[in-house]
Amino acid sequence: MTGVRTLLIALGLAAAAVTGVLAAGEGTAPSPAFRQWPGECVADAPFMRRNHMDLLKHQRDDTVHGGIRPANHSLNACVTCHAVKGDDGHPVTVADSRHFCRTCHDTTAVRVDCFSCHTSTPGVAK
């Protein structure tokens, strides 16, 4: 069962990635903050733009139920690497519209409740 599931997930991700790459060719403008982040994302940007919510959900279940905690994949790793400094030089919280997780959400009218529990500022970088 698990094997089959792994295969299906792999194929699903591959298909999603391929469509992602194709769709994000010319004409898809990166967000203003693009590429200002240190290090590499957990996947390439066109894929992330389209699929970050699925990755986060998948990771959430893997971590909470399976105890699987790969570096860089936790929600806190996202907000740590993607931290945006405010006027005081400290990383802003989601209360600030410049927060990475709001850059697109605000314009696309997406509202996530993640940060009512998860801290939106850098923490465990581990």
Return the number of the residue (8 or 70) whose C-beta is nearest ligand HEC: 70
User: How far is residue 50 CA from its own chain's centroid?
Assistant: 10
29 binds other proteins (CB under 8 A): no
| Window 57-96: residues binding ligand HEC (CB under 6 A) | 59-60, 63-64, 72-79, 81-82
CB of 92 to other proteins, least distance (A): 14
Interior/surface letters 83-120, b for 16+ CB within 10 angstroms, e for the rest: bbeeeeeebbebeeeebbbbbeeeeeeeeeeebeeeeb
* Site mask for ligand HEC (CB under 6 A), range 19-58, x = bound: -----------xx-xxx-xxxxxx-xx--xx--xx-xx--
* Residue 121 near residue 83, CB atoms below 8 Å: yes
**Residue 121 makes contact with ligand HEC by CB under 6 A:** no
